[in-house]
């Protein structure tokens, strides 16, 4: 048995060009919600996956991207207690896991070895998963969160993956009792949310960017405390040993040495950007100073909800450009050229996909 038909846009090959496509959703079960997609953020990971350049998985086409999804609940399975019809809900980078292992039982289900991704994966019933560039989605209630009433749905979309990718690793520095000096490397979708979240946590925030272009807006709009241009060797050297952490969001290969130098002893370089080739560093660059390089992957469903509440409590605003589906190819082209301030959000419901 298959479920409803959904109208979407999909990449048909590694050219990453998206065009209309329709498919059948999986059949909804007793724990599932059927949602009408309202908005979906555009993430650089969508681009990596469409181009087939993610080392962690091969890409199956047609691929419907989209894992920052906000929708309205249309139907509920008989066992759904968490939501009501008409609720505005969000779905991020994970739509399933085993539900039984120690990771799933400690709000770290994003690291479960049976994680199911919103697209380019296979659901438990054997149906290929497809993402939020689509009119409808069926989601298990455990993997959806409630969007707070005070938050506009298009504002919420980027928080569900890009936002929680910054929030989850930065949380460890939240209530440290001392002034934390953080660096955000790469001011894109994840990076701009990283700046806002780190500032709201009370950190002193330095943006580390590849050019001068974003200095004014980083300082004036995002209220960063300092701005460093990564190609300015003298300035980078002057700031060595100054940061407790760097959140590295760069999606391409980049030299590690100069960033490791910026860290204080015991500082942490937290990698979230998925460069498609290996990154290099010299062991002495971390041995001297007892520095750490670590990775972090999205956040748990609990952390997604936590971030949404934190966002409303702190009165923060996502900086987005809302576009219709017929602009999606142009939007990805602009993302690749580093020409977006700072996240595209697709108005899926307003794009007449039905």
Would you tell me which residues interact with ligand NAP (CB under 6 A)? 43-45, 48, 161-162, 165, 186-191, 209-210, 214, 249-252, 254, 272-274, 296-298, 335, 338
**Smaller CB distance to Zn ion: residue 103 or 156?**
103
From the list ligand NAP, Zn ion, none, pick the one residue 254 interacts with, judged by a Cβ distance below 5 to 8 Å according to partner type: ligand NAP
Alpha-carbon dihedral of residues 146, 78, 76, 123, nearest 10 degrees?
80
From the list ligand NAP, Zn ion, none, pick the one residue 170 interacts with, judged by a Cβ distance below 5 to 8 Å according to partner type: none
Residue nearest to ligand NAP as judged by C-beta position: 188
Please state, in angstroms and rounded to a whole number, the distance separating the CA atoms of residues 353 and 350.
Answer: 8
**Smaller CB distance to Zn ion: residue 135 or 296?**
296
Q: Which helix (H) or strand (E) holds 162?
A: helix 162-170
From the list ligand NAP, Zn ion, none, pick the one residue 67 interacts with, judged by a Cβ distance below 5 to 8 Å according to partner type: none
Question: Which residues does residue 200 pair with via DSSP β-bridges, in sequence order?
Answer: none
Q: Which two tokens mark 271?
A: 């990698």
Give the residue from 176, 142, 170 showing the smallest Cα distance to 305: 142
Report, in Å, the least distance between residue 263 CB and ligand NAP. Answer: 18
**Smaller CB distance to ligand NAP: residue 88 or 184?**
184
Please state, in angstroms and rounded to a whole number, the distance separating the CA atoms of residues 9 and 20.
Answer: 4
Residue nearest to Zn ion as judged by C-beta position: 112
Tokens 């370089």 belong to which residue?
269
Please report, as residue ranges, which positions from 91 to 150 form the binding site for Zn ion (by CB under 5 A).
97-98, 101, 104, 112
Please state, in angstroms and rounded to a whole number, the distance separating the CA atoms of residues 183 and 239.
Answer: 11
Report, in Å, the least distance between residue 246 CB and ligand NAP. Answer: 13
Please state, in angstroms and rounded to a whole number, the distance separating the CA atoms of residues 68 and 320.
Answer: 13
From the list Zn ion, ligand NAP, none, pick the one residue 104 interacts with, judged by a Cβ distance below 5 to 8 Å according to partner type: Zn ion
From the list Zn ion, ligand NAP, none, pick the one residue 98 interacts with, judged by a Cβ distance below 5 to 8 Å according to partner type: Zn ion
**Smaller CB distance to ligand NAP: residue 33 or 271?**
271
**Smaller CB distance to ligand NAP: residue 44 or 199?**
44
Give the residue from 317, 323, 327, 318 showing the smallest Cα distance to 345: 323
Q: What is the DSSP string of 186-197?
A: S-SHHHHHHHHH
From the list ligand NAP, Zn ion, none, pick the one residue 252 interacts with, judged by a Cβ distance below 5 to 8 Å according to partner type: ligand NAP
Q: Which two tokens mark 280?
A: 């290099």
**Smaller CB distance to ligand NAP: residue 63 or 353?**
63
Question: Which residues does residue 247 pair with via DSSP β-bridges, in sequence order?
Answer: 184, 270
Residues that bind Zn ion (CB under 5 A): 97-98, 101, 104, 112
């Amino acid at each position: 048995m298959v479920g409803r038909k959904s109208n979407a846009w999909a990449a048909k090959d590694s050219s990453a060009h998206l065009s209309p496509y329709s498919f059948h959703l999986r059949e909804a079960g007793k724990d599932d919600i059927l949602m009408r997609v309202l908005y979906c953020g555009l993430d650089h990971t969508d681009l990596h996956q469409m181009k087939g350049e993610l080392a962690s998985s091969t890409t199956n086409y047609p691929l419907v991207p989209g894992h920052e999804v906000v929708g309205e609940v249309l139907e509920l399975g008989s066992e759904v207690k968490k939501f009501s019809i008409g609720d505005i809900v969000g779905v991020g980078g994970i739509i399933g896991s085993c539900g039984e292992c120690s990771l799933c039982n400690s709000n770290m289900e994003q690291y479960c070895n049976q994680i199911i991704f919103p697209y380019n994966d296979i659901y438990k019933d054997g149906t290929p998963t497809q993402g939020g560039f689509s009119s409808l989605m069926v989601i298990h209630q455990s993997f959806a969160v409630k969007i707070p009433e005070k938050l506009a749905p298009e504002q919420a979309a980027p928080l569900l993956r890009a936002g929680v990718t910054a929030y989850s690793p930065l949380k460890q520095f939240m209530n440290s009792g001392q002034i934390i000096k953080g660096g955000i490397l790469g001011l894109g979708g994840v990076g701009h949310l990283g700046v806002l979240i780190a500032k709201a946590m009370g950190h002193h925030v330095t943006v580390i960017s590849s050019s001068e272009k974003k200095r004014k807006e980083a300082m004036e709009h995002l209220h960063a405390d300092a701005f460093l241009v990564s190609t300015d060797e003298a300035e980078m050297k002057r700031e060595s040993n100054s940061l407790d952490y760097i959140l590295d969001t760069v999606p391409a290969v980049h030299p590690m040495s100069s960033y490791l130098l910026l860290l204080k002893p015991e500082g942490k370089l937290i990698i979230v950007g998925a460069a498609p080739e290996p990154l290099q560093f010299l062991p002495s660059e971390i041995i001297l100073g007892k520095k750490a390089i670590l990775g972090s992957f999205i956040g748990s469903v609990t952390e997604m909800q936590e971030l949404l509440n934190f966002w409303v409590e702190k009165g923060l605003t996502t900086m987005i450009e809302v576009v219709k589906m017929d602009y999606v190819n142009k939007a990805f082209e602009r993302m690749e050229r580093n020409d977006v301030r700072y996240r595209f959000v697709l108005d899926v419901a307003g794009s007449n996909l039905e």
